Amino acid sequence: MDKNTNLRVGLVGLGRAGAFIKSMYLNNARFVAVCETQAEMNYGLTELYGEDFGFYTDFEEFLKHPGGLDVVILGNFFHEHTHYSIRCLEEGINVISECLSNATMAEGVQLVRAAEKSKAMYICGENCQNYTFSLEAKKIYDSGELGKVIFAEGEYNHPILLPIEQAQKETTMYLRKFEKHWRNFLPRTYYLQHSLAPLMYVTGSRPERVVAFPAYNDDMEMGDTLTGPNVKDRAAIILTQNDDHSVFRITGMASFGAHETTYRFCCDKGQVEVLRGMDADNVMLRYDGTCIPEGKQATTYYVPEVSAEDKELFEKSGEGHGGADFRTIREAFNYIRAGVQHPLDVYFATTMSSVAIQAHRSVLSGGQPFEIPDFRKEEDRIKYENDYDTPFWGTDGSEPTMPCSSH
């Protein structure tokens, strides 16, 4: 596919996915169709995007949009991406899945098998590995100056706390619109992509075992607006043992202290980390006293440079994640046009989801270790192909089969 190909893009969900529209156009793509269950959101879209624009409430009709779709970006409910990803792959449509690739282990097996059969590309649309700091850490790590990773940390801390009555009233109308909404049953381990993806991306390490412990708090004077009253764990502290013998410590979506997203990479010759309490791109780079590269200082504090062109594009895109959303779309489209598999592929995505699911099982079992299967291997797929345990309600009314909280 030519690098200047004007990709035809469809969105599933106008909420979160709608934030990518400006970035799509800035990367030589057209927004040609949307599948949205809330029909009332079809306000003037044809006037904005042209007479051939399609608004659909039925996903199968959306896939048949006249003129076809080159890419579908999934922005539907967090835990319901697998079916839509598989159908796109079956139709030969490249898919960018923004959150959890699979909410059950069996879904992960199904997704991998579908991706291996398809000529289209599956891409995990996680964005935090595209923060300026993450890209700087990747550049430093790939240079070899720090040596091999020994230990790394990733924290995504996103508290939105209000007095109980106010939290229930204000957020039920927006974030948790009905009783069985996924946010009301979101275990703290499940929303871990922002913590884990940058660690895997920078180092290339793949988790093989996981243990996790809950930070439980029943003092509910303040309500956590993101997860609701069913989940009283404020965080899950997760440890993974990786295929290169390194260890990661991560949180899922934590709700303690103050809001921040931080990372640290500790290697055998030094370390690099984003500074807590600062903007997300402030870097501290330190070398062991015997391993300082020629011309470098033992400790350096700096903000990585961003080109003037990129700064302008970030501003035009209107996104609020420091350029990460724009970069995610640009990178995904570039890989699709080149026909080269994106590094955040279906194996990367299902590994993260396996950590999320197995870490919650560790929480529920009092910190017992659980394996992280490698879905490249058929023997690992067979072990989990019938494992549908879930903490979420299904859209078909099916009930959760595991608790969402440690208590």
Q: What are the domain boundaries of the chain?
A: 7-128, 129-307+347-384
* Residue 317 · residue 23 · CB < 8 Å: yes
What's the pLDDT score for residue 172?
65
Beta strands in 60-148 (DSSP E): 71-74, 94-97, 122-124
Residues of the chain scoring pLDDT < 50: none
DSSP state letter for 23: H
> What tokens appear for 202 in the block?
């920078």
* Residue 146 · residue 272 · CB < 8 Å: yes
Within this chain, domains 7-128 and 129-307+347-384 share the same CATH topology: no
Instruction: Please state, as a whole number, how many other Cβ atoms lie within 10 Å of the Cβ of residue 37.
Output: 15
What's the pLDDT score for residue 168?
67
What's the rounded Cα separation, in Å, for the pair 190 and 360?
7
What's the pLDDT score for residue 191?
95
What's the pLDDT score for residue 267?
98
What's the pLDDT score for residue 273?
96
What's the pLDDT score for residue 171?
66
Beta strands in 303-382 (DSSP E): 370-371
Q: Which CATH architecture has domain 129-307+347-384?
A: 2-Layer Sandwich (3.30)
What's the pLDDT score for residue 280?
62
Q: Which CATH architecture has domain 7-128?
A: 3-Layer(aba) Sandwich (3.40)
User: Among all chains, which residue has been given the structure tokens 């006293």?
Assistant: 289
What's the pLDDT score for residue 170?
66
Q: Helix or strand or coil: residue 54?
A: strand
User: Among all chains, which residue has been given the structure tokens 């949180």?
Assistant: 251
